[in-house]
Amino acid sequence: MSLICPICQGALQRVDNGAVCPANHRFDRARQGYLNLLPVQHKNSRDPGDNAAMVEARRRFLEGGHYAPLAKRLAELAASYAPERWVDIGCGEGYYTAQLADALPDADGYALDISREAVKRACKRAPQLSWLVASMARVPLADSSCQLLASVFSPLDWLEARRLLAPAGGLLRMGPTRDHLMQLRQKLYDEVRDYDDQKHLELIPEGMRLAHSETLSFTLNLASSEARADLLAMTPHGWRASAERRAAVIAEPFDVTVAIRYDWIEKL
């Protein structure tokens, strides 16, 4: 096991019901198989991260296959970098993580999220991975120990990413472009705010550089009202818009553009 203690950074040893460090900080393994490496003092709320309803909406929507091309390309890109060890940071309910795992069968794979609800569901998808409830601000893995970090529709702690990456390793980031879900945003807001899809590039810390970018876009026909409701519930747009606007979106089918960018940001 190459995990480290999130409190003192000592090496964790596997024990019957979890893991323990030399300073005797103990962490439980849940019956579902994931390790809880989020000490209470690192939690900002009792139940941080996405709640069960958001996780459930995302799970149903993704199971509907609407975003399958996004996951396929993500997995292809990850395989092309052939990492020995990788971590999906902010894995959510594990839809993308499981496809990364399929594409990287011989690698040592980890996935973490601060939401217990998310990890509880996610870990069933790929039991061969190490699933962790943990904070991306204190990833319980050693310095320079990973060749690939995945960050999919998630916030990111950039300095922590740099710490984790081995030289020539990289961060595979997947996020929206300015056109993503445009028709949905038009239905929800009087004025659609422009989204700067380059902004994250300004956050790249010294010692890392953008080595590759590409975009993928396609049109989705949202024929079922359940899919439209789930899409609303899983995006920030869902809870920002008014109840009337949300009801209107759910009421009738529409076409929506999916437009995503992939960035590979290397550690020098």
Ligand X SMILES: C[S@@+](CC[C@H](N)C(=O)[O-])C[C@H]1O[C@@H](n2cnc3c(N)ncnc32)[C@H](O)[C@@H]1O
The two structure tokens encoding residue 235? 């995006």
> How far is C-alpha 264 from the chain's CA centre?
15
Least distance in Å: CB of 38 to ligand X?
8
Helices 225-234 and 52-63: crossing angle in degrees, nearest 10, is: 130
SS (H, E, C) 12-33: CEEECCEEECCCCCEEEECCCC
* SS3 (DSSP) at 142: coil
Of the residues 81, 153, 158, 189, which one makes contact with ligand X according to CB under 6 A: 153
For 75-100, letters b (16+ CB in 10 Å) and e give bebbbebebebbbbbbbbbbbbbbbb
Least distance in Å: CB of 243 to ligand X?
22
Q: Considering only 109-117, 183-191, 209-217, 245-253, which stretch makes contact with ligand X by CB under 6 A?
A: 109-117
Per CB under 6 A, does 50 bind ligand X?
yes
Per CB under 6 A, does 135 bind ligand X?
yes
Q: Considering only 21-29, 140-148, 152-160, 179-187, which stretch makes contact with ligand X by CB under 6 A?
A: 152-160
Query: Which residue lies nearer to Zn ion by CB, 25 or 29?
Result: 25
Q: Are 259 and 177 in contact (CB under 8 A)?
A: yes
Residue with tokens 């998808």: 125
Per CB under 6 A, does 137 bind ligand X?
yes
Per CB under 6 A, does 90 bind ligand X?
yes
From the list Zn ion, ligand X, none, partner contacted by residue 152 (C-beta under 5 to 8 A by kind): ligand X
* SS3 (DSSP) at 220: strand
Per CB under 6 A, does 92 bind ligand X?
yes
What is the contact surface with Zn ion in residues (CB under 5 A)? 5, 7-8, 10, 21, 23, 25
Interface with ligand X (CB under 6 A): 49-50, 58, 90-92, 95-96, 113-115, 118, 135-137, 152-155
